[in-house]
Structure 1
Amino acid sequence: MKKKVTMQDIADKLNISKNSVSQALTGKSGVSDHTRKLVQQVADELGYKYQKSRKPQVVNKTGNIGLIASDFTFSQKSFFGEIYLSVEKETSSRRMNLLIQSISSHAKENLILPPFIENNMIDGIVILSHISTEYINAVIATGIPTVLIDHHHPLIQADAVLTNNRLGAYTAVEHLIKLGHKEIGFIGNIHFSPSYEERLEGYMLALREYGIKPSEDFMITDIVEKEEEIATCLSKIEKLPTAWFCANDGLGFFVNSCMQYLGKKVPEEVSICSFDNGQLSKIAKPKITTMDIDLHYYGKKAVEQLFRRIENRNEPLVEILLPTKLIKRESTAPCIY
């Protein structure tokens, strides 16, 4: 099978940074015209697929805004569904139409852009969560103003609206520490999302600030979000922690069930705190303490930034961090050990 050409291959051939390749192919400033032409020439020679830069669009030329996300992201209705509705409401309030496209795995792998992008039918685009770095850069290369929601990456040059994951996780773990817990576990797949890795960093920061040494036995950082997988993993821990910080509500729900299956009373013997304040944290028994994210505000800020970008294309790129709020419920209690 023929190896897929990447930006790194182009960078290695020209002995320049991958970031310079990205800037050249996406039409961003930071590289000379000579370098830009060399990068485009090598990209064509190697067969690298990228969207040719287009002429700048006229602001509000079409009256349409685009929204794209992966099939998986659109399936997460309780979280991203609310953000999507907020984007739609905010777009409508500005008398603009919202065009939506789900990006399949085939489209992602082959860098097939939606027709409304290919045909210049939109004035700006919102990308929900992660698709792939190359795909997102292909969208940005069209020259259409773009704002990311709940995703960022060093090689993606675009505005982003994000949750303040580190501070939120710090607050959650601090809550457990103030309840007297010193043995606090972390569970979440940090390879799945930058958000989860940032939440791990917040967890570590809180432990360090309070002089608690983290235990590797309690840190599960690569787990499939399925009840049977989590149950198997937790059952192998010889001495369980007195509290768990879970990277999202789905994990919190499963950990809650597994703890009770293993004979642990929640919260009398083990406390559980999760993140997102989704439906699962509310229907769990007991209801789970969690970090709330204002999803409607997420969409509102994304559209605000998109229109600001449409009108001011040369301003520096920004990352907007939105705050979280601790929602105390029945799953956390003072440590009895």
Structure 2
Amino acid sequence: MKSHNITISDIAKELGITPSTVSRALSDSPRVNDKTKKKVQETAQKMGYHQNVMASMLRKGSSGSIGIIIPRINRHFFSNAISGIERIVNPAGYNLLIYQTEELYQKEVEGIQAFMKNRVAGIILSIAAETTHFEHLNNLQNKGIALVQFDRVTDLVHGPKVINDNFNGAYLAVKHLIQTGHKRIAHLTGAPHLNVYRERLRGYMQALTDHGIQPDQALVFDNSITRDGGAANIGKIMSLNADAIFCAGDYAALGAIQELKNLNIAVPEQVAVVGYANEPFSEIMTPSLTSVEQNAFEMGTRAAQALIDMIENKDNAHDHTDIIPVRLIVRQSSLVSTY
């Protein structure tokens, strides 16, 4: 067989397995056992697959590159997700191009247009905070370019999605605050139209209800996900007699704690604080911050694998949501001594 004709489907046929299994094996996915990986890699090398990835992509009308569009590259979550994506796409023969929207809708549209001009094989996207219309994404799919959404997603665009268990993460955080004796729990959240903040709000509300606490809408503060947003709302939160704050992001928690300190309000003795994201600063600030770990690296690997599956096996382009589990990391900001 001539090497320039080799595709993942050819390797799959040779071995009697599915193309998606071949793709995962070539990407060193933990979802494929070592024996199968070895067999696939040996067969791919024998058949000359790696030497012809670029030529194969060019014949399909794409460049052999994958584009990723994210709100902010300087966030720990997104940089970890990119690392996970690279772990999968590079061994599979793809290059990664990165575009940052800075939360702006127009820049997201421009990023899509730029990647289309560069004939990328597919795009992995996390929606900008400003984005409420999705014609640019539907147009992308109409042109046959594979799209996988991750973290911030919309059901108005078809295709695979990879998200955190945002509801459960918020539920665990608020349950922890209730179990440590808190009842007036404020919530600093982000843009309400984004799925991640909508689900965290839902988890917050459900945890209160399940523990016999009537949710108070006055304690919910939208568009307060930044450090400045966290600090700005502390005066109002304290006027409402809150004894704890659940923040939908660690930067809001950082701002909240700094402002509480400025007001000589002790954390956690007078007000407990819990964040979300487990940013690197959360374990070294004083007090150290209780937060929800999102497992961004795993989210990146799952999103990348879903995209490669779409590119190499078009029948795999169906609506499917992969939910990544989260965990609560308890630190000093929410632990009040009972002695």
Q: Which TM-score bucket, shorter chain as reference?
A: 0.7 to 0.9
Say if 2:227 and 2:256, in contact at 8 Å, map to a contact too.
no
Q: Are residue 118 (structure 1) and residue 120 (structure 2) matched? A: no
Q: Distance in 2 between matches of 1:257 and 1:125?
A: 39
Q: Distance in 2 between matches of 1:58 and 1:250?
A: 43
**What amino acid sits opposite 2:217 in the alignment?**
E
* Deviation of the 1:80 alpha carbon: 0.8
Conserved? CA contact 1:59–1:123, under 8 Å: no
User: Where does residue 92 of structure 1 map in the other structure?
Assistant: 90
The 1:129/1:167 distance shift into structure 2, 3 A limit, reads same
Distance 2:277 2:175 in 1: 17
- The aligned counterpart of 1:197 is 198
Q: Offset at 1:279?
A: 2.1
Say which structure is richer in helix: 2
The match for 1:319 is: 321
Residue identity opposite 2:123 in structure 1? I
How far 1:158 sits from its partner (Å)? 2.1
Change (3 A) 1:335 1:193: farther
Q: Deviations over 1:89-148 (max 9, x none)?
A: 21112232223344585954866744442353x322212343732332232222111111
Query: Counterpart amino acid of 1:321?
Result: I
- The TM-score, its normalising length taken from structure 2, stands at 0.73
Q: Distance in 1 between matches of 2:188 and 2:108?
A: 30
Q: CA deviation at 1:230?
A: 3.9
Aligned match of 1:156: 157
Match of 2:77 in 1: 79
Per the TM alignment, residue 294 of structure 1 is displaced from its structure 2 partner at its CA by 1.2
Q: In 1, distance between residues paired with 2:115 and 2:231?
A: 45
Cα distance in 2 for partners of 1:158, 1:81 equals 23
Q: How do 1:262-281 residues align onto structure 2 when only pairs under 5 Å count? A: 262-281=263-282
1:290 and 2:264 aligned: no
Change in CA separation of 1:176 and 1:96 when aligned onto 2, cut-off 3 Å: same
Amino acid at match of 1:305: A
Unaligned runs of 5+ in 2: 1-56
The aligned runs of 1:238-277 (5 Å cut-off) are: 238-277=239-278
Q: Counterpart of 2:314 in 1: which secondary structure?
A: coil
Structure-1 residue corresponding to 2:189? 188
TM-score norm. by structure 1 comes to 0.73
How far did residue 317 of structure 1 move?
A: 1.2
| Aligned residue pairs, count | 276
CA, structure 1 residues 288+202, in 2 after alignment: closer, same or farther (shift >3 Å)?
same
> Cα RMSD between the aligned structures?
2.7
Displacement of 1:82: 1.6
Q: Which amino acid aligns with 1:88?
A: E
Corresponding residue for residue 68 of structure 1: 68
Distance 1:89 1:112, change over 3 A: closer
Provide the rounded CA distance (Å) in 2 between the counterparts of 1:243 and 1:59: 58
* 2:335 partner letter: A
The question of whether the paired residues in 2 share the 8 Å contact of 1:101 and 1:114 is answered with no
Matches within 5 A, 1:163-242: 163-191=164-192, 193-223=194-224, 225-227=226-228, 229-236=229-236, 237-242=238-243
Post-superposition offset of 1:200: 0.6
Matched, 1:135 2:136: yes
**Letter of the structure 2 residue corresponding to residue 77 of structure 1:** R
Instruction: Render the CA deviation track for 1:260-311: whole Å, top value 9, x for unaligned.
Output: 2222111111111110101232332101000001111111101111122224
> Does the 8 Å CA contact 1:128/1:150 hold for their aligned counterparts?
yes
Post-superposition Cα deviations, 1:148-200, rounded to whole Å, max 9, x if no partner, equal 11122131112111111001100111111111211111111233632112101
Output the CA distance in 1 between the equivalents of 2:98 and 2:240.
Answer: 49
